[in-house]
Amino acid sequence: MGNVLSNGFQAATSFFLEKAKYILELEDNLEALQEVARRLKAMKDDLQNQLEMEERKGLRALEEIKVWLSEVKAIQPKVTKLLEDRTSEIERLSMYGYCSSNFLLTYHYGKNVFETLEKVRSILSSKPCGEVVARRILPPGVNDIDTQRTVGLEKTLEDAWSLLMEKEVGILGIYGMGGIGKTTLLKQINEKLLEKKDEFGVVIFVVVSQNLQVEKIQKEIGKRLGLCDEEWEKKDQKEKATCIKEVLTSKRFVMLLDDIWEKVKLQEIGIPFPSADNGSKVVFTTRSKYVCGRMGAHDLEVKQLDQKNAWELFRQKIRGTTLDSDPKILELAKQICAKCKGLPLALTVIGETMSYKTSVREWQCAIDDLDSNADNYPEVRDEILKILKLSYDDLKDETLQQCFQYCALFPEDKEIYKDELVEYWVSEGIIDGDGERERAMNQSYKIIGILVSACLLMPVDTLDFVKMHDVIRQMALWVASNFGKEEEKFIVKTGAGLHQMPEVRDWNAVRRMSLAENEIQNIAGDVSPVCPNLTTLLLKDNKLVNISGDFFLSMPKLVVLDLSNNKNLTKLPEEVSKYFFKSGVDRGYKVTEEFERLGKRLLSIPKLARCIDAISLDGVVAKDGPLQFETAMTSLRYIMIERCIISDIMDHTRYGCTSTSAICFQNLGYVNISVVSCIQDLSWLIFAPNLAVVFVEGPSPELQEIISREKVCGILNKGSSIVPFRKLHTIYLEDLEELKSIYWERLELPSLKRMEIKYCPKLKKLPLSKERAYYFDLHEYNEEWFETLEWEDEATEE
């Protein structure tokens, strides 16, 4: 009996001491835990820094590194909590740490501290050894690409897959018109290849687009093959091709090339030629069967959907109960569906556009819009662009339509940064917000939302961007060019590999031009286009080094000039300054009164006035006396006067002055006068010996002469050395119904390169010398007027 009690006592004592050690050793264990926690954090931070450096090189963390870091991440919150509770738990101890005021709580806390200490020590000892923390890991063989369910393309997909799996088919070309579903089909092929991922080493999907760029394709392939790192960026095109070829030669690959417009030379990219021996495949989409032939491909045409499938797709996009709400709407819907000609993109866009139309009249209006101008369009436009134009017409508001057209200036297949798009719209004055910039910005973002809702822009994963489908973009360009009748009204050659400014037949027609993402380095002085209507010029992302000032001499309406991302362009010609001037004042941001006061102040201080090189007036009324530019005459290079009521620029007494140097516009090179009334002549121009460009547009009902003989004959008769218009190279006169004379006698005009005269019915004589030939820009409306001109002799006429 005694032995039993003794053994029981010993067991109880042993159990108690085992538990009590968590309390007895608590303070020592906390000290040790704090130390190992510090070491653990330092190790983790060093390893993460090393790993981040490796990941910047395109490497991926080793799995054992990931596991160790995840263990550290899991234990750290527990360590932090235990150390945070340290003070309160120590205060429970009594009898020099041998007991506790709450034995059970301290026991559990001490046990947690002990076990956590052991765990941290274990993690520290298990840290992976060696300097290698990351390595290059190949991406998955096939990427899962989001795509829509095909409607009516199932048979075509089956045919394409059957062809692709044939041993002798190495290259397959899928062709058809824009918006027919080729890209969707290619993505479906990618999905089917997921099921055969063990048969192919890698499947690569690349969007090529209209302007084929080998290095862009190489970059996309390089990413998929895990080749893109710092060394890759240093390689030239041939070296990259070699690297790609070395990797692909060792694999059975499938290359999916979307949207090619010309022959793609596979060897230049580094793609081994697919054959029955290597089992590799190349599949591409194109709008041209000719390209299929050039690629040496087996081809497959994607045809329009039949009536049944087209209606099924259209019904899906309408959604809701609209079609069942009225038999007449159902009938009209079938008519619109038929007009889509089985084109999936048109069915989708038009269907989504009509999905919120709930009245018969709205549907009938859509039919009317589709039928308008149909006979004027070429076949492809009649079958595609006219259909897509319905979404454009549905915008109704001209501002919305202008904003939509503007989106086509951005490069094809590129995301559009919303902030940049908004800045363009506001700067060009498409949106003015009633003069308040903040309101204009808000309106712009509202319009982006409207365009996205109308399926004319597409949202992307990053909310700061939108995108425009390439067929929708073509429709926008078609509309902007007056349905193809004025192709040079909207010139877009983005990413086209240009090394110089493109050839343009009629610069007068150009309204907007986008040459972004090219290779242009210099715009020389021999390029001096006359662009009276150009409002936007985008030259961003080129390689510009120099721009001649002459290039900007004849762009009176230019308000958006983007030269960003031209790293080697370190200076701008002085001629660019007039645009900054105009865009800051002419857009009406409620600064008119302040600017008027500032202008008067500047002109009253000779030193400041002599620094003014450009003056732009809009809406100024000065009927009782001339404008006073005397203090700024010598420095002015540019004068623009729009929508003003003025009697003259100079006091009439000045015309009789014998000292011409005091009144000369010595540096004036550009004059633009538009819709100015009360002025009878522009005789002051005779005092601008370096005048190069003159634009005068009406209506200006009182303007009868450019140079008045009565006004200037006094100074000319006094032995003046003035030779009128000796440096004038461009004169543009339009809509001046009362204009009778430019100059009363012949002028040599040695520099004149271009004379354009429109709607000036009373102008019967031109001051041309018989000693040289001149170029006239004759349009249909000018031919009759030209035939009525009076010539002093046959030699001049000839």
pLDDT in tens, 709-728: 888 776 666 556 677 888 88
Q: Return mean pLDDT, the chain.
A: 80
Instruction: Give the model's pLDDT for residue 510.
Output: 95
Instruction: Give the model's pLDDT for residue 604.
Output: 62
Residue with the larger pLDDT of the pair 453 and 632: 453
CA distance 623 to 646: 5
Which residue, among 290, 191, 207, has the nearest Cα to 256 in the 3D structure? Answer: 207
Instruction: State yes or no: pLDDT of 555 exceeds 50.
Output: yes
**Four-point Cα dihedral 768, 773, 779, 783, nearest 10:** 60
CA distance 344 to 340: 8
Across 208-222, 507-521, 651-665, least confident range: 651-665
CATH of domain 153-301: 3.40.50.300
For 772, phi then psi, to 5°, come to -150, 165
The arithmetic mean of pLDDT across residues 346-354, rounded, is 83
Beta bridge partners of 625: none
Give the pLDDT confidence of 30-46 residue by residue, as tens digits. Answer: 888 889 889 988 988 88
Instruction: Give the model's pLDDT for residue 405.
Output: 96
CA distance 729 to 694: 9
Give alpha helix (H) positions in 275-326: 289-294, 307-318, 322-325
Instruction: Give the model's pLDDT for residue 582.
Output: 36
The arithmetic mean of pLDDT across residues 441-455, rounded, is 86
CATH of the structural domain 382-477, one choice from 1.10.10, 1.10.3470, 1.25.40, 1.10.600: 1.10.10
Instruction: State yes or no: pLDDT of 227 exceeds 90.
Output: no
Phi-psi region of 497 (alpha: psi -120 to 50; beta: other; left: phi over 0): left
Instruction: State yes or no: pLDDT of 114 exceeds 60.
Output: yes
Instruction: State yes or no: pLDDT of 626 exceeds 60.
Output: yes
Residue with the larger pLDDT of the pair 433 and 578: 433
CA distance 422 to 430: 10
Give the pLDDT confidence of 464-515 residue by residue, as tens digits. Answer: 789 888 778 888 998 998 887 888 899 999 988 899 999 999 999 999 999 9
The arithmetic mean of pLDDT across residues 550-560, rounded, is 87
CA distance 531 to 508: 5
**Structure tokens that stand for 239 in this block:** 């070296």
**pLDDT-based confidence at 601, cuts 50/70/90?**
low
Which residue's structure tokens are 């002549």? 681
**Structure tokens that stand for 105 in this block:** 């709580």
The arithmetic mean of pLDDT across residues 84-111, rounded, is 71
CA distance 431 to 400: 9
**pLDDT-based confidence at 447, cuts 50/70/90?**
very high
**pLDDT-based confidence at 632, cuts 50/70/90?**
low
Q: Which residue type is seen at 674?
A: S
- Cβ contact 416:467 at 8 Å: yes
Residue with the larger pLDDT of the pair 632 and 490: 490
In what helix (H) or strand (E) does residue 780 lie, and over which residues does it extend? helix 780-787
CA distance 160 to 484: 35
Across 391-405, 509-523, 560-574, 700-714, least confident range: 560-574
Instruction: State yes or no: pLDDT of 536 exceeds 90.
Output: yes
Which residue, among 139, 273, 272, has the nearest Cα to 202 in the 3D structure? Answer: 139
**pLDDT-based confidence at 139, cuts 50/70/90?**
low
Q: HSE, CB side, 13 Å, CA atoms: give it for residue 437.
A: 8
Instruction: State yes or no: pLDDT of 185 exceeds 90.
Output: yes
Residue with the larger pLDDT of the pair 370 and 530: 530
Burial 542-553 (b: 16+ CB within 10 A, else e): bebeebbebbbb
The arithmetic mean of pLDDT across residues 745-750, rounded, is 84
Which residue, among 734, 739, 648, has the nearest Cα to 702 in the 3D structure? Answer: 739
**Structure tokens that stand for 665 in this block:** 């516009």
Taking CA atoms, 566 is separated from 253, 362, 562, in Å, by 39, 49, 10
- Tell me, yes or no, if the pTM score tops 0.85: no
Instruction: Give the model's pLDDT for residue 5.
Output: 46
Q: Residue 165: how many CB atoms within 10 A of its CB?
A: 12
CA distance 728 to 292: 54
Q: HSE, CB side, 13 Å, CA atoms: give it for residue 198.
A: 1
Q: Which residue type is seen at 386?
A: K
Instruction: Give the model's pLDDT for residue 521.
Output: 92
What is residue 784's three-state secondary structure? helix
Q: Residue 475: how many CB atoms within 10 A of its CB?
A: 29
Which residue's structure tokens are 């263990």? 71
Residue 482 DSSP one-character state? T
Which residue, among 397, 378, 301, 389, has the nearest Cα to 345 in the 3D structure? Answer: 389
Instruction: Give the model's pLDDT for residue 655.
Output: 60
**pLDDT-based confidence at 374, cuts 50/70/90?**
very low
Instruction: State yes or no: pLDDT of 373 exceeds 60.
Output: no
The arithmetic mean of pLDDT across residues 255-269, rounded, is 91
Instruction: State yes or no: pLDDT of 8 exceeds 60.
Output: no
Q: Residue 106: how many CB atoms within 10 A of its CB?
A: 21
